Chains A and B, each alone.
Chain A
């Protein structure tokens, strides 16, 4: 039952997309409403998955395992654990909003657009549910094609440059990951006699790979994911892609695509190569902290609202990476919840920027000012999105940032408070650049005559914004359902890292060991 439901959630968008290919492009209404309906149905169908996945277990559930390519043991293996459950739900939640925000906004080649959106949805869900490295890679690359077209066809002025940059950056990382995947498969052949890309089998074998090789494999995977996240200094594709993409494209990019990188870091880097992860943790944490500060500082001086939000992503995802690098329960739990939060709040910020852009066709902060007086309802929604992004307690952003910082403090692998202390200043910077932007756009006197007649949010826009607000408040006030879902799978990963940490550290540093074993005890 659960398996079937997961399969439907995964393939429904694809099936409708293929069906829509047969509908003439002139029938715009069909394309719009069929894709919106599909995204909504997919979301509704994905909700029961929350209860079908047993939160008391840390392993994979709702498994489907179909033989695909026997000689390379690449199978169609999918399943969910608590972490991927949350990300699948985030995806299915975001897609109807993204598609809803496109109706009427996208005016050229609508057929192709909605087909691409649905294809993208299947590919993104596929990334989160794959339990086979080959399948994972197929979905991972499959995302490139629709996203490339969405940026390149429906994007802004410099869309071609941004689309090519996005495509090349991503493929550079992922092709090296491909080599690492094949190498792992071959290692399995050496170790067990069978080439395999089965995630469940590989995670048993991989941690015992000698450390010097593990480092290379870790680096190959981490490079691919770091480009996707993006971790400083690999972030330069992000501002271009985010700014040039149409609003819905930015929402998906920030909301879901970036999470694939952080998801991959937890799922593969920590789980496969715990020993290498311990070595690389300080490096990751340093880059994360640089990203937090750098992203915030650059965001502060952006004259373009969308670019500001884009750089804020770099900063916010720094917290996620810091949480992951801490490799503690708090840190990873915080990272997961922060992924969801960032998807919601940044997605909503992009939507708000889109609302303004629709009316004025400019994203220049200087063009605005005093908008709150003409668009009062919009001002409230924009403020909520902004405050959630800042991390105001009571809204969602606070929970995640707090936990990742806590993880950074407590981490036995980072072994320094400096990371969290410096990172915490990023929270202050975030308040500065977001509040300042909000003030310049929304408050003050309405000086620009072009802004005088702006209409307040339309019903369509309300429908895309209000659901996000509801979930943001929910997570802010009562995050437990979300934290509970991923608790066990996080714990499994943390314990695995710990298991590989102790024996090596014993000889090196007794003080460290006692801290590690302390963490292990509860």
Chain B
């Protein structure tokens, strides 16, 4: 029993922290600083707990929750994403005179929801986790409620998201109907023993589950919401949604790919591969024509979901490790880019076009250098972590016989290089409109920026530690 609580400690801590923050918030209005500090401390505790459970593996609370192992690594991704987001968002929302306690509380809730998804050993837990995460994101997307753009984004996200959740719930119901269980192991056993109640329902159920989850990941053809929502949401929130949120939705796929898909229907992996290819192509091609930096990053995040899907489509142990590795790298590079973007927006007090980056390398050399590093990493140029992540994913794809998918992946990368180095072109090669202008202030955002950049370089040059840890999970 103790062991179970220990394995579940990250998720328990995160949930308690979220509830506590809500209560504190309700009792003492205008306690932004308290909630801010409390969220950071509690997420750091979650990080410690998650790190402690990484070497273990097992289930807790019956067979509801998995603990340790890859779930703990996902916890680290989410909690780290949460901390970095909270630190980066304070000056951003404060600059708009719109700092309220609930922002931090909602980030905590979203983090708890994501962790629940990664810990799920049971489709129902997956569902609850997705709902907790999504509901928090709906509100966070519309956090700037006086801005039409933000409200539109939230509404769009909510309507389409609710629709997608319907698919997911229906799919889960059909899988339950077919196999008589919602626990991944039991579903697999039922399929293996050929003890299905309604065999025809199973593929339909699985297809609907994939649709529901695919929506959350923003996989083609369920990606249309992503650019609008990412564009309209507060920039720091977009950074969090498009990294940790995406990783969470992908983590829901992991137990399915391991336990259910291979025995349920052979074609599932092919479908995932086709989706991955289409997502990469659509995301990258659409990103090329964007002039607004945020929208460009939004489309490119669609493409990156496609890259991670390659690992799931490959389905082998190397592919699954690669997905998690890429999720880690992606967290840092994309979040870093969004933090820089948030700082530019805060400075310009409006949304940032590519032209606004002109001459950033002279007005703020350090910021430009960091942004360039994030861009090169996103484009997959060595020696940053983004490169090794892609290498690893492509290796998995080729190992699984999807050489064509790896080729589409690199073709997508070529396209992405164009728009990522476009940002560098403006920052470094074009002169600033006003050469005397300097960025007015750099606040606590430098912490997430430096952490992200340092980890990207370290993980790029020495991916070994994380990589061997990850591949040990699927031995």
Contact = CB atoms under 8 A, between A and B. Distances in A.
Interface in A299-327: none
B235 interface: no
Nearest to B411: A175
Given A68-B464, A69-B464, A134-B391, A168 B417 contact: yes
Contacts of B422: 164
Interface residues of A, number: 34
Contacts of B392: 72
Interface of A: 68-72, 134, 137-138, 141-142, 144-145, 148-149, 152-153, 159-160, 163-164, 167-168, 171-172, 175-176, 178-179, 182-183, 185-186, 189, 195
Contacts of A195: 395, 399
Given A152-B428, A178-B410, A145 B464 contact: no
Q: Which of B392, B417, B430 has the most CB of A within 10 A?
A: B417
Interface of A is mostly: helix
A153 B428 CA distance: 7
A171 B414 contact: yes
A167 B421 contact: yes
A125 to B, nearest CB: 15
Contact of B398 (A69, A71, A183): A183
Interface string B378-420: 0001110001100110110011000100110011011001100
A268 B159 CA distance: 55
Contacts of A179: 394, 398, 403, 406-407, 410
B414 A186 contact: no
A164 B468 contact: no
A152 B430 CA distance: 9
Interface of B: 318, 376, 381-383, 387-388, 391-392, 394-395, 398-399, 403, 406-407, 410-411, 413-414, 417-418, 421-422, 424-425, 428-430, 463-464, 467-468, 471
A160 B417 contact: no
A149 B318 CA distance: 35
7 tightest A-B CB contacts, nearest first: A175-B410, A138-B382, A152-B429, A186-B398, A160-B429, A141-B382, A182-B395
A69 B421 CA distance: 28
Contacts of B471: 71
B425 A152 contact: yes
Given A71-B318, A149-B428, A160-B425, 17 more contacts: A68-B464, A70-B464, A71-B468, A138-B383, A142-B381, A145-B376, A152-B429, A163-B429, A164-B421, A164-B425, A168-B418, A171-B414, A182-B395, A182-B406, A185-B395, A186-B398, A186-B399
Contacts of B407: 176, 179
B429 A142 contact: no
Contacts of B387: 138, 141
A185 B318 CA distance: 14
Contacts of B382: 137-138, 141-142
Contacts of B403: 179, 183
Contacts of A189: 399
Contact of A172 (B318, B381, B388, B414): B414
A176 B410 contact: yes
B193 to A, nearest CB: 33
Contacts of A167: 417, 421
